[in-house]
Amino acid sequence: MKILSLNVRGFAVEGKFGWVKSICFNERPSIAVFKETKCKNVEEWWVESLWGNRDFGYVQKEVVGNSGGLLIVWDTNWFVVSNMMINDYFLAIKGCWKNSDKETIIVNVYGPHCDSGKRRFWNYLDGLLNNSDTAWVICGDFNEVQDHTDRLNCAFIQHRANWFNDFISRNNLIDIPINGKKFTRVSGDGVKLSKLDRFLVSDRFIQLWEDLSTIALDRFLSDHCPLILRDKVIDFGPKPFKIFDEWLFNDGVDKVIEEAWALPVKGYKLDCKFRDRLKNVKVALKRWSNSTYGALDVEIKALKKEVSVWELKA
């Protein structure tokens, strides 16, 4: 199970569609929820191109004027939808996972900014949660924070945070901690940072999917980070072989591969001998790469960490 949540800030922006499509391709979410699509009526071929295959269903709330727009896309191999709900501030689907007959409601939220809108929003969601014996996932851009530590260089209004916290407490919702980032939204000038996006889930949902975690992916063409909610990730061990295109332009790599492949291997089964030859090549390439280029993976991680540090300082 994997749910993607992203405030797109307009699919029409150059490069935005391709960026979101690449996230869907790399992450393969079971369900994807998008905010601020700024799209009118989207057509099936458009969603198919975004999703990457035809095994999907979708529902949308069209843009009002030049802002808003909500979209939910789900993998029909994972989730079967039985009902849909549309509200001024959210879009929801109700259905069952293929491995369970227990109902789940996924709510795609784009919270209001004004006090009156916030109060109506929380009250309406209260009514839904109190009258439904199902598992819940409420995700998206709430346009609200829980305390002052969720904001940096921008206004914090205590009574709004109190309303938000009271809503979470009344409905016994659980805020799944976000790994990777402290803030999920950064202003265009890099000055204002806030944690507006999150996943709130019910106990019944945790009973369906244990070991839940949320990770924030890197921002690129939106001022919001893509968030991924997923159940326990099974590690099947390291990939058997990895090579970088850059290595192929180095004159010495051919000799490294040839010498490693020529090393003697034991055994009489051909598939086992082939496996061991690949292991020899892998070890040799790793040793050669470290001596020629240095530890690239370590350097990449260090650079990404440096980017995050400078982003916070900015």
pLDDT in tens, 47-94: 999 999 999 999 999 887 666 889 999 999 999 999 999 888 899 999
Domain 2-230, classified CATH 3.60.10.10, yes or no: yes
Q: How many helices (H) and strands (E) does the chain have?
A: 8, 16
CB of 60 closer than 8 Å to CB of 90: no
CA separation, residue 46 to residues 17, 18, 19, 42, 186 (Å): 10, 12, 15, 7, 29
Burial class of residue 84 in the structure, from the number of CB atoms within 10 Å of its CB (0-12 exposed, 13-18 middle, 19+ buried): middle
Tracing tokens 């006090």 back to the chain, one arrives at: 115
Domain ranges (residues) in the chain: 2-230, 237-314
Q: Which residues contact 261 (CB under 8 A, 6 or more apart)?
A: 277, 280, 281
Q: What is the pTM of this model?
A: 0.74
Predicted confidence at residue 234, as pLDDT, reads 52
pLDDT in tens, 187-233: 878 889 999 999 999 988 988 887 888 999 988 888 899 999 998 75
Mean pLDDT of 120-132: 84
∠ CA 12-17-19, nearest 5°, is 130
CB of 146 closer than 8 Å to CB of 177: no
Predicted confidence at residue 279, as pLDDT, reads 87
Sheet arrangement for strand 174-175: 79-86, 90-97, 103-110, 135-141, 197-201, 174-175
Which H/E stretch holds residue 61? strand 56-61
Rounded-to-integer distance, Cα 27 and Cα 49, Å? 15
Rounded-to-integer distance, Cα 38 and Cα 42, Å? 10
CB of 155 closer than 8 Å to CB of 124: no
pLDDT in tens, 149-162: 999 998 899 999 99
